[in-house]
């Protein structure tokens, strides 16, 4: 039977945190935003455990607990008290009330779940394994800067992506937004007053549902001290102003480990095709190399036996291109895949002048490459 958890708290953020803390467990979370509503829901729902805020307006945690203990139907219901007060006298007072446990805010979701699991029998739901997001998936990008024009600028630079860019001016707004919305990356100004960027980073890391959000710093190139501090604090990276759109996209991709191999690899007709882009650079070579082995294994597992490398978009058979193609052919050969290279007559002529590539099987189209490999 599913466990019922009643959370009574006037903070929307805390109630949201509680709900998310138990998403992976077979339980139902019931919410009340004040003591009166909480008592009514407790009488109606008969929860297995109550998470009770110590300090609430109108009817605080002490008053609610007193009424629970005087109710024959609810007096045995275990209560965990949540409090923002860490003072010794408050903690002692809470312990004397007969609650099963207490937590001082802020707390991590996994700590809350562990405390509740001591009291009731929590069971995990079956959770499907999440695949890495792709570069062309919609992402949530939050820009935190006290100059709203920066968020507008970032949105413009990312206008050719399906990513949604939202801007807020204060770190406190950022935490609240991340709690209530799907955010993949936070881009925060390192020059916010009162160490705002670094306080925000710490707050995001303190909650389970926000701890995995990629955080990138934003500052002018000359702010070297702030950049160093961000790197030492654990920021994934820093984007400098004026913002270069390619650098921005690259750092967002890297911070999330976005799947990009689909841009280069395709499987069809029992064949793996590797298409190199016109803008071939070390970053492209690194992306292709990182995915190559898995792509080759996948095509073999699917019953394929051919690799076709398409160089039609490449402007010149420069040494880095030849080295990558050679490495791909060598890896494919180890798995008994036959290989051919599709390219223009110009690229073929350039390859013919290099010892390592002059013996490749060349074709001028995908269809002709298939014919060669039959």
At the topology level of CATH, where does 140-256 sit?
Rossmann fold (3.40.50)
> What does residue 46 show for φ and ψ, rounded to 5 degrees?
50, 65
In the chain, % of residues over pLDDT 70: 97
* Domain 261-373 CATH class label: alpha beta
Under DSSP, is residue 104 helix (H, G, I), strand (E, B) or coil? Answer: strand
For the record, the structure tokens of 213 come out as 């959000």
Q: Is the Cβ–Cβ distance between 106 and 87 less than 8 Å?
A: no
Asked if domains 3-119 and 261-373 share a fold, the reply is no
For the record, the structure tokens of 94 come out as 């809470």
User: What's the pLDDT at 108?
Assistant: 85
For the record, the structure tokens of 309 come out as 């490398």
* Domain chopping of the chain, boundaries: 3-119, 140-256, 261-373
Q: Which residues of 193-226 are buried (b: 16+ CB within 10 A; e: fewer)?
A: eeebbbebbebbbebbbbeebbbbbbbeeebeeb
> What does residue 56 show for φ and ψ, rounded to 5 degrees?
-140, 150
User: What's the pLDDT at 104?
Assistant: 86
User: What's the pLDDT at 87?
Assistant: 62
Residues pairing with 5 in the sheet: 29, 49
The C-alpha torsion from 215 through 18 and 89 to 62, rounded to 10°, is 150
Q: Which of 272, 289, 268, 291 is nearest to 280 (CA)?
A: 289
CA atoms of 151 and 156, how far apart (whole Å): 9
Q: Is the Cβ–Cβ distance between 188 and 234 less than 8 Å?
A: no
For the record, the structure tokens of 46 come out as 């008969």
Q: Is CATH 3.40.50.300 what the domain over 3-119 is classified as, yes or no?
A: no
Nearest 5°: CA angle at 256, between 254 and 257?
Answer: 60
Residues pairing with 362 in the sheet: 341
Q: Is the Cβ–Cβ distance between 258 and 133 less than 8 Å?
A: yes
pTM for this prediction: 0.56
User: What's the pLDDT at 129?
Assistant: 46
Q: How many CB atoms lie within 10 A of CB 96?
A: 8
User: What's the pLDDT at 128?
Assistant: 47
Pinpoint the alpha helices (H) of the chain: 12-21, 35-45, 61-69, 88-95, 109-119, 148-157, 171-180, 196-206, 224-233, 245-256, 282-301, 319-334, 345-352, 366-373
Residues of the chain falling short of pLDDT 50: 127-129
């Amino acid at each position: 039977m599913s466990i019922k958890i009643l959370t009574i708290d006037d903070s929307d953020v805390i109630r949201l945190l509680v709900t998310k803390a138990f998403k992976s467990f077979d339980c139902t979370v019931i919410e009340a935003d004040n003591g009166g509503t909480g008592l009514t829901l407790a009488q109606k729902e008969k929860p297995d455990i109550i998470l009770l805020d110590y300090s609430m307006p109108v009817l605080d945690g002490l008053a609610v607990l007193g009424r629970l203990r005087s109710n024959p139907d609810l007096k045995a219901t275990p209560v965990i008290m949540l409090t923002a007060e860490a003072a010794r006298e408050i903690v002692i007072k809470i312990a004397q009330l007969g609650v099963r446990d207490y937590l001082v805010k802020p707390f991590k979701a996994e700590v809350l779940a562990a405390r509740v699991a001591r009291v009731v029998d929590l069971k995990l739901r079956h959770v499907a394994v999440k695949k890495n997001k792709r570069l062309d998936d919609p992402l949530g990008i939050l820009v935190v800067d006290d100059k709203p024009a920066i968020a507008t600028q970032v949105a413009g630079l990312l206008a050719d992506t399906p990513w949604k860019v939202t801007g807020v001016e204060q770190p406190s707004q950022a935490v609240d937004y991340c709690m209530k919305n799907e955010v993949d990356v936070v881009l925060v100004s390192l020059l916010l007053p009162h160490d705002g960027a670094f306080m925000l980073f710490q707050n995001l890391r303190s909650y389970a549902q926000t701890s995995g959000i990629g955080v990138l710093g934003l500052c002018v190139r000359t702010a070297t001290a702030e950049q160093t501090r961000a790197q030492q604090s654990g920021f994934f990276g820093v984007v400098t102003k004026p913002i270069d759109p390619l650098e921005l996209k690259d750092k967002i991709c890297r911070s999330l480990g976005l799947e990009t191999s689909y841009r280069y690899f395709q499987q069809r007709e029992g064949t793996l095709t590797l298409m190199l882009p016109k803008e071939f650079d070390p970053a492209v070579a690194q992306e292709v190399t990182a995915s190559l082995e898995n792509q080759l294994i996948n095509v073999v597992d699917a019953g394929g036996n051919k690799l076709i490398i398409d160089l039609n978009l490449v402007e010149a058979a420069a040494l880095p291109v030849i080295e990558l193609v050679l490495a791909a052919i060598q890896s494919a050969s180890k798995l008994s895949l036959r290989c051919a290279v599709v390219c223009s007559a110009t690229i073929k002529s350039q390859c013919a002048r290099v010892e390592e590539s002059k013996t490749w099987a060349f074709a001028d189209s995908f269809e002709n490459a298939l014919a060669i490999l039959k």
